[in-house]
């Protein structure tokens, strides 16, 4: 191998890079070690004495566990499925329907996606959900989440549907397939990578969403994990760091696992197009 001489600039860039990397790694390290530490502070330290007691305490909170194992799963799963199904149908319609002004329409979609679940629209959303009688229901939260995620989701899925040549569907129609069979056998398998991306992305968004469930839900036993963190705060608003850290680990695991599973099983792709 050829010996490479490092210039001074390269060395300096390397050092700066390492420093930045350490800065970004520190919170993650804290996050990994703190839950197992019996005496937590805000500084990163390898625990002198490992303990699982923080988890035991976290598990014993009904609000926290219901939030994580029931409410977050319902809200996350509902948002994921709802977003993927509606986005698939809408994207299919837009892609195949030769909508005039489609380019503008899809651009506007993207703009709207940042508005719907934003802080600015919280009052009208609250009033809307209130008049629908959906305050303090999971359905209300799910609908608002889906509404916020759909524009971008549709935008992503359109590209996948566009990537499926019409002749595939026409060939299936001539082969004797009706609309549903056609979608199940041909279109759905071909746009599945796109629906995976959109579904996981919707789940992650719903899982991490704080403001919407915080405003729309009243009963502490209905709030998802993102809001249930508050049980580990004392009435003055000071967090119990040990428990927050332990709960944070539990809160992260499902999403990371799901991401790994989907990535391993199907792979992610953010744009359509079919390898023939």
Name the residues that contact another protein, by CB under 8 A: 165, 167-168, 170-178, 181, 185-186, 189-190, 274-276
Torsional sign, CA 156, 160, 163, 168: negative
Helix, strand or coil for residue 146? helix
Which two structure tokens, joined as six digits, stand for 107?
């651009």
Residue 159 C-beta: closest distance to another protein, Å: 17
65 vs 172, which CB is nearer to another protein?
172
Which two structure tokens, joined as six digits, stand for 44?
């990163």
Which two structure tokens, joined as six digits, stand for 213?
């469930």
Backbone angles phi, psi at 37, to 5 degrees: -95, 135
Which of 125, 175, 181, 182 is closest to 148 using CA atoms? 125
For the chain, what's the residue count?
276
Residue 105 C-beta: closest distance to another protein, Å: 21
Residue 169 C-beta: closest distance to another protein, Å: 9
165 vs 239, which CB is nearer to another protein?
165
177 vs 250, which CB is nearer to another protein?
177
> Helix count (H) and strand count (E) of the chain?
13, 0
Residue 195 C-beta: closest distance to another protein, Å: 14
Residue 267 C-beta: closest distance to another protein, Å: 13
Which two structure tokens, joined as six digits, stand for 159?
């590209």
Q: DSSP string spanning 223-249?
A: --HHHHGGGGB-TTS-B-HHHHHHHHH
Residue 241 C-beta: closest distance to another protein, Å: 50
43 vs 167, which CB is nearer to another protein?
167
96 vs 139, which CB is nearer to another protein?
96
124 vs 273, which CB is nearer to another protein?
273
- Rg of the chain, C-alpha, whole Å: 24
105 vs 188, which CB is nearer to another protein?
188
- Tokens 């899925």 — which residue? 157
Residue 123 C-beta: closest distance to another protein, Å: 47
How many CB atoms sit inside 10 A of residue 15's CB? 10
Residue 189 C-beta: closest distance to another protein, Å: 5
End-to-end CA distance of the chain: 40
139 vs 177, which CB is nearer to another protein?
177
Which of 122, 187, 117 is closest to 151 using CA atoms? 117
């Amino acid at each position: 191998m050829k010996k490479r001489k490092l210039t001074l600039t390269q060395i300096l860039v390397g050092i700066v890079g390492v420093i930045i990397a350490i800065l970004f790694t520190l919170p993650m390290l804290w996050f990994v070690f703190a839950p197992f530490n019996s005496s937590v502070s805000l500084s990163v330290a390898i625990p002198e004495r490992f303990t699982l007691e923080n988890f035991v305490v976290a598990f014993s909170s009904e609000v926290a566990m219901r939030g994580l194992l029931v409410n977050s799963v319902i809200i996350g799963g509902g948002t994921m499925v709802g977003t993927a199904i509606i986005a698939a149908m809408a994207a299919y319609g837009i892609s195949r329907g030769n909508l005039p002004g489609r380019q503008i329409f899809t651009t506007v979609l993207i703009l709207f996606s940042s508005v719907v679940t934003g802080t600015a629209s919280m009052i009208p959303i609250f009033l809307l959900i209130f008049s629908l009688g959906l305050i303090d229901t999971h359905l209300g939260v799910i609908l608002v989440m889906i509404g916020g995620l759909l524009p971008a989701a549709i935008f992503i899925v359109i590209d996948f549907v566009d990537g499926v040549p019409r002749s595939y569907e026409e060939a299936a129609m001539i082969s004797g397939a009706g609309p549903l069979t056609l979608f199940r056998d041909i279109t759905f398998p071909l746009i599945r990578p796109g629906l995976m991306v959109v579904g996981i992305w919707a789940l992650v968004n719903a899982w991490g969403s704080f403001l919407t469930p915080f405003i729309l839900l009243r009963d502490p036993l209905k709030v998802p994990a993102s809001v249930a963190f508050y049980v580990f705060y004392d009435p003055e608003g000071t967090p119990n760091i040990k428990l927050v850290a332990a709960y944070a680990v539990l809160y992260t695991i499902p999403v990371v696992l799901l991401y790994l599973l989907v990535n391993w099983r199907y792979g992610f792709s953010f744009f359509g197009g079919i390898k023939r």
